[in-house]
Amino acid sequence: MLVTALGTTALTATALVGCSSGDSATTESGRPTVVASTNVWGSVAEAVVGDRADVTAIISDPSADPHSYEASPGDAAALSEASLVVYNGGGYDEFVDDVLGSAGDVPSVDAYSLLEGHADDADHAAGEDHAHDHSGETNEHVWYDPEIAAATAEAIATELGKVDPDNAAYYTENAEAFHDDIHEITDITDRIAQQKPGAPVAQTEPIAHYLLEGAGVDDKTPEDFEDAIEEGNDPSPAAVAATRDLFTGKGVDVLVYNIQTEDAVTEDVRRIAEENGIRVVEVTETLPAGQDYVSWQRTAAQDLADALGVV
């Protein structure tokens, strides 16, 4: 795996203190505590809570895989004692479900669970099944969908407002502002969809599925290749050959490349792409240092637009 400069986003980290069952957890500051599974959802939570609550993220290390992460006793305590837990869901960060299943009634927001209603939104879905990737299976990487991030922010405001009613209006106002801010991302993907509809692309694994879908481009990657890389397995020789053929045959315009799951296979794919003049767009699963959710996703969208020659 590539060693990168990625790190923890600027989340407010304070010591969690215990609480009795049924009580609202607070930190030593007296504010509610929000515990997020990853720094991505921690950043969304911070946009909502401002200076009225404290946010911590369990995973911020780019080398940690949420799919296989096992909660430490400290993680379990933080999740169990939180005023609100925010996580991805959909099997991505299953360690949270495991903890919450035995922790009692802990308020939580599961971003993935918001996908179904979002897919039914005719204005956003534009006649397509937003909840599925090109293989017909549900894609759990919902943070690459800005509208899901905005819906998650609104759910955070609602749930935290129940715990902290004195600041409920403040949380709602911040969630609405966050929803406005995501247009910085969707304005770019809308331009891609208008100027390069159906542009052929490939990706090393389906991390950025919702970014590509929002941009209206066509993921040509062999399903077997993407699935194997995501699961940490070696793709079959046939899948590797088919993927290489996309680049040698100029079958795609861009390779979307997850730098957090680099191995010999993906490095070879990137080399072949670059040797054949295919532009590479780097993406990540966790926030780069110094960025928040909106700036991170705006950069990813703009990088895709630039690679496709969108103006």
Mean of all residue pLDDT scores within the chain: 88
Confidence at residue 207, expressed as pLDDT on a 0 to 100 scale: 94
Considering only CA atoms, which of 20, 237, 38 is closest in space to residue 140?
A: 38
Mean pLDDT in residue range 158-164: 98
| 13 contacts 34 by C-beta, under 8 angstroms | no
Confidence at residue 67, expressed as pLDDT on a 0 to 100 scale: 87
Confidence at residue 123, expressed as pLDDT on a 0 to 100 scale: 43
What percent of the chain shows pLDDT beyond 90?
Answer: 76
Confidence at residue 26, expressed as pLDDT on a 0 to 100 scale: 59
Confidence at residue 277, expressed as pLDDT on a 0 to 100 scale: 98
First to last CA, the chain: 34
Q: Let me know if 127 is exposed, middle or buried by CB neighbors in 10 A (0-12, 13-18, 19+).
A: exposed
Confidence at residue 232, expressed as pLDDT on a 0 to 100 scale: 86
Confidence at residue 65, expressed as pLDDT on a 0 to 100 scale: 84
Whether 159 has a pLDDT exceeding 80, the answer reads yes
Whether 89 has a pLDDT exceeding 90, the answer reads yes
Partnered with residue 294 across adjacent β-strands are: none
Can you say how many angstroms the Cα of residue 231 is from the centroid of all Cα atoms in its chain? 17
Mean pLDDT in residue range 97-125: 81
Confidence at residue 304, expressed as pLDDT on a 0 to 100 scale: 99
What domains can be seen in the chain, in order of their start residue?
A: 33-181 (3.40.50.1980), 184-308 (3.40.50.1980)
| 50 contacts 156 by C-beta, under 8 angstroms | no
With a CB cutoff of 8 Å and minimum separation 6, the contacts of 293 are 40, 43, 44, 47, 143, 149, 287
| 186 contacts 146 by C-beta, under 8 angstroms | yes
| 278 contacts 254 by C-beta, under 8 angstroms | yes
* pLDDT tens for each residue of 1-59: 332 333 333 354 332 333 333 344 555 668 999 999 999 999 999 999 999 999 999 99
Confidence at residue 152, expressed as pLDDT on a 0 to 100 scale: 99
* pLDDT tens for each residue of 199-251: 999 999 999 999 999 999 999 999 999 999 988 899 999 999 999 999 999 99
Mean pLDDT in residue range 81-99: 97
Whether 291 has a pLDDT exceeding 70, the answer reads yes
* pLDDT tens for each residue of 185-197: 999 999 999 999 9
Of 4-13, 15-24, 108-117, 155-164, highest mean pLDDT: 155-164
Confidence at residue 218, expressed as pLDDT on a 0 to 100 scale: 98
Amino acid in position 248: T
CA angle 85, 89, 93 (to 5 degrees): 85
Q: How far apart are CA 175 and CA 154, in angstroms?
A: 5
Q: How far apart are CA 45 and CA 235, in angstroms?
A: 37
Mean pLDDT in residue range 256-273: 94
